[in-house]
């Protein structure tokens, strides 16, 4: 393979690796008995703006957290105040049911491959997030930078409104990432990027959900009114297609969950008709350890046939606020020999609003036998 | 098998097997309480403790009704998160208010009109629960297993927080539903068996 082409390919891949969405979902908190995303996030699918409760927990889970001090009357508190609040609580409770957040991630990315290496400093995210919650209604939106590769400028890649009844029924409409499988925080994980649930793969659609103590059902239908913004420009082929997903989560215990998912996408200008089915199992055998494993089968019309994805994420809280993760990943395909990845990650949460994340990826392409090493260090400021 | 060996086996096994049906006092050897709290946003969390003590004694020869009590130190309930522990113990269970609040006490346990000498397997039970300074009847299911020297009981019953005057748990928009599930796992031994095993 031409070295210049290989370098360019790796640079593009590396750039696409960064730019994760705001305040990613963290399935590792199953170890803390949080099996549902909605405990801490507005989005039923996880990720994005934290709820006041999620903000409160971010302080509790940090290395310099509150150590059990309630900091007020738990029964009447409605908004995260003090350090865990928006802008360190500078606005007090003046925003009422409006919750705001700012997500900024300066990062350094370096990668090496046979015969070369490179690195770059990046400002991955600069997003503003808002949610208005009143009664059964939540209105949500995010505004950030559109990737340069897609034209740049300011762009809203997620916006929706949801009604959630006390009986557990919910309806959401707008643009959002359809729920499927386990939304690991790293959007480049094989079960996200290869199945079409990457950071910019939101769809414009409707989601119906039903939640009980032990089960969550989410069904999404999107007629094709939105697509991945990376190829959403007028003069490029559109990936718009009818998309539907189904996801069922069974909480066997507060620390054990099974997730079963299905996906169907109709043919678009950029892809053939395809679908996926998968199952995930997560459990926390001890208080500081969570283990998630997801296996998916992807079906495609035509010669590419069937491929499989297997992702494990094992997270261990070494000391309070310091998580170590190990994630082996495998992707197979009929047309190529597939890919393997070993991901090592250290996630340090020294204070509320400040995360430091260091990741090391070892990727091996089964066809070219090329092994690449990528290091990513992020300072995650979540104001 | 020698006759003396058989006699010894009968003595070891039969004594605890009949313990529930005798006047002998049964003391908690070990136990664990797990309280599953369903959350208003879906899912649940569990609070647990091993601080379970007490003893029981048959109060009636015609039915499996027991005197004595089982008590749990609520100050030791652990959910895995300090802030949640703090809220649970101090804001809602109000363990600092005194003895009737710091411990939960289960008494007047009855398995109904079953033979106390042979009851095992699944059985319905009733009792009185003192929690948060309020005493109320509870009812649930128990699974009783007898083995050499001990009786293992796995029991469960629902508790409605409002019935015991416990404020609706709520923190920053996330709450616990009114009904929680209590699971009790304990091993009891007759006082004589405990004494002889020491």
Does residue A22 surpass a pLDDT of 90? no
Neighbours of A178 (CB within 10 A): 24
* Partner-chain contact A212 B42, CB within 8 Å: yes
Q: Is A111 exposed, middle or buried (0-12, 13-18, 19+ CB in 10 A)?
A: buried
Query: Tell me, what DSSP letter sits at residue B89?
Result: I
* Partner-chain contact B91 A32, CB within 8 Å: no
> Which pLDDT tens digits describe chain B residue by residue (198 residues)?
455 555 444 444 444 444 454 556 889 999 999 999 999 989 999 999 999 999 988 887 777 888 889 999 999 999 999 889 999 999 999 999 987 899 999 999 998 877 777 778 899 999 999 999 999 999 999 999 988 778 899 999 999 999 999 999 998 889 999 999 999 999 998 876 555 444
Query: Which among A87, A129, A94, A132 has a CA at the least distance from the CA of A353?
Result: A87
Identify whether the C-beta of residue A62 lies closer than 8 Å to the C-beta of residue A349: yes
Q: Which of A32, A64, A67, A75 to mutate to test the interface with B (most CBs of B within 10 A)?
A: A75
Q: How far is CA A137 from CA A98, A134, A160, A161, B123, in A?
A: 12, 5, 11, 7, 45
Q: Is B72 exposed, middle or buried (0-12, 13-18, 19+ CB in 10 A)?
A: buried
Q: Quote the pLDDT of residue B61.
A: 72
For residue B101, the SS3 value is helix
Helix (H) or strand (E) holding A222: strand A215-222
Identify whether the C-beta of residue A317 lies closer than 8 Å to the C-beta of residue A31: yes
Query: What's this model's pTM, rounded to 2 decimal places?
Result: 0.86
Where do the domains of chain A lie?
Answer: 2-382
For residue A235, the SS3 value is coil
What are the two backbone dihedrals, phi and then psi, of residue A150, each rounded to the nearest 5 degrees? -110, 15
Separation CA A99–CA A104 (nearest Å): 17
Q: What is the complex's ipTM, to 2 decimals? A: 0.82
A376-382 mean pLDDT: 91
Does residue A1 surpass a pLDDT of 60? no
* Partner-chain contact A287 B80, CB within 8 Å: yes
Q: Which two tokens stand for residue A12?
A: 């593009």
Q: How far is CA A376 from CA A322, A343, A361, B11, B49, in A?
A: 17, 11, 8, 69, 42
Separation CA B32–CA B51 (nearest Å): 7
Q: Which of B35, B42, B85, B96 to mutate to test the interface with A (most CBs of A within 10 A)?
A: B42
CATH superfamily label, A2-382: Porin (2.40.160.10)
Q: Is B58 exposed, middle or buried (0-12, 13-18, 19+ CB in 10 A)?
A: buried
Separation CA A222–CA A204 (nearest Å): 6
* Partner-chain contact A56 B86, CB within 8 Å: no
Q: Does A38 touch chain B (CB under 8 A)?
A: yes
Separation CA A7–CA A119 (nearest Å): 12
- For A271, residues 6+ apart whose C-beta sits below 8 A from its C-beta are A239, A241, A265
- In chain B, residues with a C-beta closer than 8 Å to the C-beta of A85 are none
Q: Quote the pLDDT of residue B197.
A: 46
Of A32, A75, A216, the CB nearest to B170: A75
């Amino acid at each position: 393979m031409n070295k210049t082409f290989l370098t360019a390919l790796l640079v593009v891949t590396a750039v696409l690796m960064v730019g994760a969405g705001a305040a990613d979902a963290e399935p590792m908190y199953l170890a803390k008995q949080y099996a549902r995303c909605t405990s801490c996030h507005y989005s039923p699918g996880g990720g994005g703006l934290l709820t006041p409760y999620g903000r409160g927990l971010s302080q509790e889970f940090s290395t310099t957290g509150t150590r059990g001090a309630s900091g007020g009357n738990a029964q009447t508190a409605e908004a995260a105040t003090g350090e865990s609040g928006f802008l360190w609580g500078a606005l007090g409770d003046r925003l009422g049911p409006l919750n705001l957040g700012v997500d900024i991630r300066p990062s350094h990315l370096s990668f090496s491959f046979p015969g070369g290496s490179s690195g770059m400093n990046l400002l991955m995210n600069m997003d503003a997030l808002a949610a208005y919650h009143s009664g059964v209604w939540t209105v949500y939106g995010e505004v950030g930078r559109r990737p340069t590769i897609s034209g740049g400028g300011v762009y809203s890649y997620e916006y929706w409104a949801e009604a959630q009844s006390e009986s557990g029924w919910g309806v959401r409409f707008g643009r959002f990432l359809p729920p499927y499988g386990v939304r690991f925080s790293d959007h480049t994980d094989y079960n996200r990027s290869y199945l079409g649930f990457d950071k910019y793969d939101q769809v414009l659609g409707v989601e119906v959900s039903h939640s009980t103590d032990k089960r969550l059902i989410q069904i999404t239908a999107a007629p094709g009114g939105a697509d991945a913004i990376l190829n959403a420009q007028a003069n490029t082929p559109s990936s718009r297609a009818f998309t539907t997903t189904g996801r069922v989560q069974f909480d066997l215990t507060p620390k054990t969950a099974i997730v079963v998912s299905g996906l169907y996408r109709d043919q678009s200008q950029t892809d053939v008709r395809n679908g996926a089915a998968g199952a995930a199992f997560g459990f926390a055998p001890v208080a500081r350890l969570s283990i998630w494993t997801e296996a998916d089968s992807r079906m495609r019309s035509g010669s590419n046939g069937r491929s499989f994805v297997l992702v494990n994420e094992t997270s261990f809280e070494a000391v309070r606020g310091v998580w170590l993760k190990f994630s082996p990943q495998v992707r197979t395909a009929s047309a190529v020999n597939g890919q393997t990845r070993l991901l090592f990650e250290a996630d340090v949460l020294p204070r509320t609003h400040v995360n430091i994340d260091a990741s090391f990826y070892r990727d091996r392409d089964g066809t070219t036998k090329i092994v690449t090493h990528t290091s990513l260090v992020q300072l995650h400021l979540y104001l | 098998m020698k006759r003396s060996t058989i006699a010894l086996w009968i003595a070891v096994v039969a004594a605890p097997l009949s313990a529930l049906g005798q006047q002998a006092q049964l003391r908690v050897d070990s136990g664990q309480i797990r309280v599953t709290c369903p959350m208003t946003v879906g899912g649940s969390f569990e609070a647990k403790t091993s601080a379970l003590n007490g003893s029981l004694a048959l109060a009636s020869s015609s039915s499996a009704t027991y005197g004595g009590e089982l008590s749990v130190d609520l100050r030791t309930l652990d959910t895995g998160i300090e802030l949640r522990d703090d809220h649970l113990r101090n804001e809602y269970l109000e363990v600092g208010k005194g003895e009737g609040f710091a411990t939960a006490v289960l008494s007047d346990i009855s398995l109904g009109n079953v033979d106390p000498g042979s009851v095992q397997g699944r059985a319905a039970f009733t009792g009185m629960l003192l929690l948060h300074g309020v005493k109320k009847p509870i009812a649930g299911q128990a699974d009783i297993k007898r083995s050499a020297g001990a009786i293992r009981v796995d029991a469960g019953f629902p508790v409605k927080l409002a019935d015991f005057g416990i404020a609706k748990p709520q923190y920053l928009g996330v709450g616990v539903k009114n009904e929680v599930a209590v699971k009790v796992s304990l091993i009891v031994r007759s006082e004589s068996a405990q004494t002889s095993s020491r």
